[in-house]
Amino acid sequence: MASALDLTVPGEAELTRKEQSAAGSYLLPTGPFSDGQVPSIDVEGLVSRQAWRIEGEALTTLKLLVPLRDQLTEEGYEILLDCADRECGGFDFRFNTEILPAPDMFVDLFDFRFLSARKTDGPSAEYVSCLVSVTGQTGYLQLVTVGGGEAPKVEIGAVDTASPASPPLPAGTADIVDQLRSQGHVVLPDLVFDSGSSALAEGSYDSLAALAGFLNEDASRRIALVGHTDTVGGLDTNVALSRRRAASVLERLVSRYEVPRAQMESNGMGYLSPVAPNTTEAGREANRRVEAVLLNTE
């Protein structure tokens, strides 16, 4: 039997979920989302799935993933895929990849990294995937291993104490398109929904006018509209509400701004991707938002 794989992550980590199957299978991603799917290989053997919550000042997805990547390389693993959010395929990659359920594992669509690796120099092939994401000062790690031997042992390392960066402010309506081009996503800051309602209030919105102009200028451009909520209420209720709000924005772009429906899609994340603490009214208000995500490069 092969020895356990020892991995170290920075910060104070807590194991939140562990599943193990002696004879299981896992679709291991080997490339970014492309042509409607995530390229994957079906691997079989002892499958271990773990989720970790990691607390630490100034955590970033890069700080979480680099130590894991370095250790896997030192152990003789070949890196198959190493990508960050938009490079992986963003929205499409996240929703076409196996992810352990919330609240054990959270994935911010705009702040995650993924790595998959393979080792073939032992008695049997072994495979690993690492998915990391950060929300505020909390990091999340999903670790899936397939092959012989034991489930990996994860130890706690020291956290980098550099000062945390300030979260970006929502873009003003004047630079909606500039931020969408440069960062791949943008909050639509002037939208108004009645409390608890999924209907977009009547009126004109500069952000939608700017977004419509961008889309109508080139029929090949595509976006996803993604709704988000605060943490008031249950997860299922909030996911449903966020999806309806995103769909309401899509319908307004179609009916009022004549954007072709084929250039847009909509979905919702509920409270799973906050941009601010939900402990204050200002934070909850910031988390109640709809974002536009650019789905294709120009």
How do the domains of the chain map onto residue ranges?
Answer: 6-157, 173-294
Residue 159 gets which letter from DSSP? P
46-145-235-250 Cα dihedral, nearest 10 degrees: -120
pLDDT of the residue at 165: 42
Summarize pLDDT for 221-272 with one digit per residue, the tens: 999 999 999 999 899 999 999 999 999 999 999 988 889 999 999 999 999 9
pTM of the model: 0.66
Summarize pLDDT for 182-216 with one digit per residue, the tens: 889 999 999 987 666 788 887 788 999 999 999 99
Helical residues (DSSP H) of 194-234, grouped into ranges: 206-217
Could you tell me whether strands 223-228 and 264-268 are parallel, antiparallel, or unpaired per DSSP bridges?
Answer: parallel
Tell me if the domain spanning 173-294 has CATH number 3.40.190.10: no
Task: Tokens for 281, please give them.
Answer: 């009214």
pLDDT in tens, the chain (298 residues): 445 677 887 778 899 999 998 889 999 999 999 999 999 999 999 999 999 999 887 788 888 998 899 899 988 999 999 998 888 998 899 999 999 998 899 998 888 999 999 998 877 889 999 999 998 788 999 999 998 766 667 676 654 544 444 444 456 666 899 999 988 999 999 998 766 678 888 778 899 999 999 999 999 999 999 999 999 989 999 999 999 999 999 999 998 888 999 999 999 999 999 988 888 888 888 899 999 999 986 6
3-state secondary structure of 227: strand
pLDDT of the residue at 172: 63
Architecture, CATH, for domain 6-157: 3-Layer(aba) Sandwich (3.40)
Burial class (CB in 10 A: 0-12, 13-18, 19+), 18: middle
